[in-house]
Structure 1
Amino acid sequence: MSTLTPASDRRHGEVSGADRRMWWGLAVLTLPVLLVSMDFSVLYLAIPAITDSLAPSATEQLWILDIYGFGIAGLLITMGNVGDRVGRRRILLAGAALFGAASVLAAFAPSAAVLIAARALMGVGGATLMPSSLSLIANMFPNARDRARAIGVWTAAFAGGSALGPVIGGILLHHYWWGVVFLINVPVLAVLFLTAPRLVPEYRAASSEPFDFVGVGLSMLGILPLVYAVKTMAAEGVDATVLAIGLFGVLMLALFLAQQRRAPAPLLDLKLFGNPMFSGAVAVALVGMMALGGMSYLTGVYLQSVRGFDVLTAALAGLPMAVAVAVFSIGASRVVAVVGLRTAFVGSILLAAAGNLGLLALSMSSPMWVYLVFTSVAGIGYGVQFSLVSDVVVGSVPVERSGAASGISETSFELGTALGLALLGSLATLVFREHSQGWGFGDTLGETLHVAHGNEDAGSAVAAAARSAFVDGMHTASLASVIALGVLAVVLSFAMRTRRAVMPR
């Protein structure tokens, strides 16, 4: 087991100690990150095929998309702490085994309920992969400049995987059945199992404090009921039961925060949020991924079900944004060197907002270049901001706490994606149903189009009205994401004003 590098050396070391084996180890660590992020978005284009095969209800369809992200978000902080204690490489490989087994179960799921359960297990496995891989990078690259480059590559894999998910999924769906989007995880994980023991060193931080099991329970009891309540209220309206569930979640989160202040070894080190850079980075991860996740899902449905493009064309349309995200994730440190951290953060958020604002120009007949240009602009913004988030968070804590700190940032990433699907997806659905105007729409656009195709008399009119209503819902969700990003940019521009913001050295 390797010895932990002192935080001071990690922050200020100038001589690069990275050799070829370390960079190969980084390549191995990007594999699980790529898979975890891809499995958020890979279903965006597969949902129509899954709907035809398994006939999920509107609620089941959202849970198929959401439960994976909620499971990851609820357990990331826990698994980051577990990795710090039992070994980060060990927890990485254990999570990969569960992730692979659950992927096989999802691929051959005979019903929507089984698919939801498999996605939940994938979430548990995925929760071990993200913080362990990022914290291992903090250990493997003690030199700050090497670490910044490594985190840029890691972020490119994470953000790029989210953007590439629909592309790869669309290409596979063009040739195979929907279950193949899960089976592609298996060979990649096999490479991880074969190479990680040789290229990735083990790290563990000794701790004599008891593990915070109470915090684990309270965090899960807070996150899941609250998000469920928000989803249900947006899709079906408010009733006493849903309101009670939401209030229960709020109460549990309040108890969790109170308990974390007293716990000897808390899951969530609240003192970290006293650092405005750390707090700002976490907020960027949450809001940025909410905007990216929600709009990627909605535009995937738009390209297929509104514009009528086949799944391969819809997938290829996502390539420019995927390239933009990957390239600017790796190049984020150069952007900071030119304009400074504060300007890079705020500017990247505004670019993402501008890209989402451009989606308001999408209509039932708009040219494809409109979609390509504005999603690429958003991709530049997302690539820069997500790379900066990871570097700021990892650079804010001693190396022995990097697993817990990365768990916080990854929780924000994953919870943001899940909230994007839940909140923006539910908002679009609410507008879609409100615009039914007596046509008798189903709960989703896909369900409505399926029924309309069987109606010889008014089917074409119902389909046209449903597509128009969906575009209205997508516009509303896009405007909501623009407002959220704009508010965040304004807040950060003031919060980072107190002192000159520079990259960790």
Structure 2
Amino acid sequence: MNASVNGQRPSSVSPSPVSPSPGPRAWLGLLVVLGPVLLVAMDSSVLFLAMPAVSAALAPSADQALWILDVYGFAVGSLLVAFGAIGDRYGRLKLLTVGAAVFGLASAGAAFAPSPELLIAARALMGVAGATLLPSALAVLSGLFADPRQRSRAIGVFAATFAAGFAVGPVVGGQLLSGFWWGSVFLINLPVVALFLLLAPVLLREVPSGRTDRVDVLSVLLSAVGLLLAVYAVKHTAAEGLAPVPSALGALGAASLFWFVRRQLALEFPLIDFRLFRDRVFTVAAVTGLLPLAAWSAVAYLGGVYLQSVLGLSVLDAALTALPGAAVLTVTCVVTPAFVARTSVRTALVTVHFTIAGGLLLLLATGATGGVGWYVAATVVTGVGYGISFSVVADTAVAAVPPERAGSAAAIAETSNEIGNALGIALLGSLATLIFRLDGPGLAGTLTETLQLPSLSAESASTARSAFVLGLHAAAFVASVLHAALGAFALRTIPKSFAEGGGSGAEAPVPAPGSAPAAR
């Protein structure tokens, strides 16, 4: 932080000290750190095109298929802040190294899982390990660069890598599946992890922290258990209908989440500082971290099934349809800072939601017999909104609160990304499952299971495909309405004077995925 930010003017006699330029070791260290970051982001989306192959091999039920996809995101999101605090207290590089090793082992377990239950368990363990990687990686990276400008540039590369990982995950998965079995989407993690474990001790160093407060274990348990039980109830109800045990577990999950919120309001050092939501700008930023990821993940998953199981595209062709949207998303991440500098954060946030809302409506033109062009157009238009949201959410959340609460603000903003990614599949995916159950032929719980039934009639197959498309349309429409409503709320709530030109004038720290725990 420079002298002007501290309220002190540089002396006219003694020039301000110049921070040393980072050497080759720092930039090599950045490359080493980016490997695990890319993996954590990619593994949130790499299964979207692989699910038809996974379903064919392991035959998961409808709710098991959703758990395979989103248990990873729930594990990362529910533990991200806690592991950031643990890294601050016990050593960021140490936690990063242990997390990378566990991530590699869990990836190998997922690749060779013989049953849906073991694949879900392996994905959950990958999520736990992923939650250790993001905050610690950013803290270690920040320690490599003494110069604030170089550090900001490095953090920008970090954020762009994280966003690109989300975007290219389905593409990478599709490319691998065109020549290998479904487990290959997990085995690609192993060489990256091995390279990191080999080079990290040489290029990286421990970053000291003065943090002394303890991690509230009960809060971690309440948030994780509450999320998992509540989502289990939603998924089971959508796939199978109402039942006493899932309903009771859902009520228990809701009670756990309520207790979690009450506990955070009473703690001196909460995992999530819910008092920040009193600020409307912060609230818009936090929800903007959640809702676009929810829409993106749900549509990417449902779209992968649509392209392969409804339209009959090969996995390679389905992967190619994702390329234009991925390219637009990545480029938008890069150009967004210039866009915000010329307009305002308010304009950027409003653009996020109306662009995504409009792009999602294009999916309503897809059908059971055609619609690839409409699908690609939808991913391109929504890619603009997703790219902007990835770039501005954390910085906007930090700018909306006092400097001493910047770490907590960034924690919520980045946790909302991971929770949004998981909730999209859980809730919007469950909506699509419910519609398939109500409108489909009633022969099986999922489209893939139905199409694999022996002696399936052409009429039943057509009904199943049409029911799946109807579920896709419903999920896209609901997500579009939510984005339009949040865009209108942002337009009315965020003052035109807020962060005009892309900032409040202060050189606040530039948060990136997982930055929160390190900043607190």
The normalised TM-score by structure 2 is 0.87
Matched, 1:386 2:384: no
Instruction: Indicate the residue corresponding to 1:492 in structure 2.
Output: 490
Cα separation, 2, equivalents of 1:341 and 1:244? 43
Structure 1 stretch displaced more, 410-419 or 120-129 = 410-419
Where 1:308 maps in the other structure, the secondary structure is coil
Deviation at 1:425, TM superposition (A): 0.8
Cα separation, 1, equivalents of 2:241 and 2:491? 36
Instruction: Indicate the residue corresponding to 1:193 in structure 2.
Output: 197
- Is this contact kept in 2: 1:78–1:407, CA < 8 A? no
After superposition, the Cα gap between the structure-2 partners of 1:134 and 1:237, relative to the gap in structure 1 and judged at 3 Å, is farther
Instruction: Indicate the residue corresponding to 2:518 in structure 1.
Output: none
Where 1:318 maps in the other structure, the secondary structure is helix
Matched, 1:161 2:146: no
Deviation at 1:184, TM superposition (A): 0.2
Deviation at 1:271, TM superposition (A): 4.1
Question: Of 13, 30, 35, which aligns to 1:31?
Answer: 35
Instruction: Indicate the residue corresponding to 1:43 in structure 2.
Output: 47
After superposition, the Cα gap between the structure-2 partners of 1:152 and 1:460, relative to the gap in structure 1 and judged at 3 Å, is farther
In the TM superposition, what whole-angstrom CA distance separates every residue of 1:346-365 from its partner, at most 9, and x where no partner exists? 10221122111111111123
Cα separation, 1, equivalents of 2:460 and 2:41? 36
Matched, 1:102 2:100: no
Matched, 1:130 2:134: yes
After superposition, the Cα gap between the structure-2 partners of 1:198 and 1:275, relative to the gap in structure 1 and judged at 3 Å, is farther
Cα separation, 1, equivalents of 2:258 and 2:220? 14
Where 2:367 maps in the other structure, the secondary structure is coil
Q: Which amino acid aligns with 2:77?
A: A
Instruction: Indicate the residue corresponding to 1:116 in structure 2.
Output: 120
In the TM superposition, what whole-angstrom CA distance separates every residue of 1:235-261 from its partner, at most 9, and x where no partner exists? 233334333222222222222222223
Instruction: Indicate the residue corresponding to 1:313 in structure 2.
Output: 317
Instruction: Indicate the residue corresponding to 2:243 in structure 1.
Output: 239
Cα separation, 2, equivalents of 1:108 and 1:378? 35
Instruction: Indicate the residue corresponding to 2:333 in structure 1.
Output: 329
In the TM superposition, what whole-angstrom CA distance separates every residue of 1:45-70 from its partner, at most 9, and x where no partner exists? 21121122222222222211121111
Matched, 1:19 2:17: no
Identity %: 45
Q: Which amino acid aligns with 1:228?
A: Y
Q: Which amino acid aligns with 1:83?
A: G
Instruction: Indicate the residue corresponding to 1:78 in structure 2.
Output: 82
In the TM superposition, what whole-angstrom CA distance separates every residue of 1:267-287 from its partner, at most 9, and x where no partner exists? 223344344443322211111
Deviation at 1:405, TM superposition (A): 5.0
Deviation at 1:101, TM superposition (A): 0.5
Gaps of 5+ in 2: 10-15, 508-520
Cα separation, 2, equivalents of 1:209 and 1:450? 54
Give the number of aligned pairs: 496
Q: How does 1:261-280 map onto structure 2 within 5 Å?
A: 261-280=265-284
In the TM superposition, what whole-angstrom CA distance separates every residue of 1:403-456 from its partner, at most 9, and x where no partner exists? 7654433321111111111111111111112112xx3331000011111xx21x
Q: How does 1:460-479 map onto structure 2 within 5 Å?
A: 460-479=458-477
- Is this contact kept in 2: 1:84–1:403, CA < 8 A? no
Q: Which amino acid aligns with 1:468?
A: S
Instruction: Indicate the residue corresponding to 1:445 in structure 2.
Output: 447
Q: How does 1:312-461 map onto structure 2 within 5 Å?
A: 312-393=316-397, 406-436=410-440, 439-451=441-453, 454-455=454-455, 459-461=457-459
Deviation at 1:179, TM superposition (A): 0.7
Question: Of 67, 74, 84, which aligns to 2:71?
Answer: 67
Gaps of 5+ in 1: none
Matched, 1:249 2:253: yes
Instruction: Indicate the residue corresponding to 2:512 in structure 1.
Output: none
CA RMSD of aligned residues (A): 2.9
Structure 1 stretch displaced more, 92-101 or 225-234 = 225-234
Cα separation, 2, equivalents of 1:277 and 1:46? 38
Cα separation, 2, equivalents of 1:315 and 1:120? 25
